[in-house]
Amino acid sequence: MKDRDRANLRKAFAEQDEHEAFAQTLYSAFGGFVDWGMLPADSRSKEEYRQKARDVLKFLDVYRKHHGRVTVALEPTPEMLAAGYRAMLAARASD
């Protein structure tokens, strides 16, 4: 794991908002072509990852209520990968 990845995860774990922390973690794991912090606050990629985080956390909450503890392997959706690629291209274009 790269130092930048470790720093991003430390920052995500310190985040108070669960949705934001999970979005940062998803981004780091699945689409971290550019540093989350480098993206503008209103970035389309950030908003897509935040929405994915909310959706996944809602799903896990409902599953947990019905089945107890949850252990799942997460895989990136095509939309998540596309958001990561868009962020990467936008970051390169602004250099």
Spatial CA neighbour of 45 closest among 64, 74, 23, 15: 23
Cα distance between residue 35 and residue 53, in whole Å:
18
Task: Flag the least confident range among 2-6, 14-18, 54-58, 91-95.
Answer: 91-95
Assess contact for 25 and 77: CB atoms under 8 A. no
On the CB side of 19, CA atoms within 13 Å amount to: 12
Percent of the chain topping pLDDT 90? 4
* pLDDT tens digits for range 14-28: 888 888 888 888 888
* pLDDT tens digits for range 32-65: 677 788 888 888 888 988 998 899 889 888 888 9
DSSP character at residue 38: G
pTM score: 0.68
Tell me which residue has tokens 């920052």: 11
Domain ranges of the chain: 3-93
Cα distance between residue 71 and residue 27, in whole Å:
20
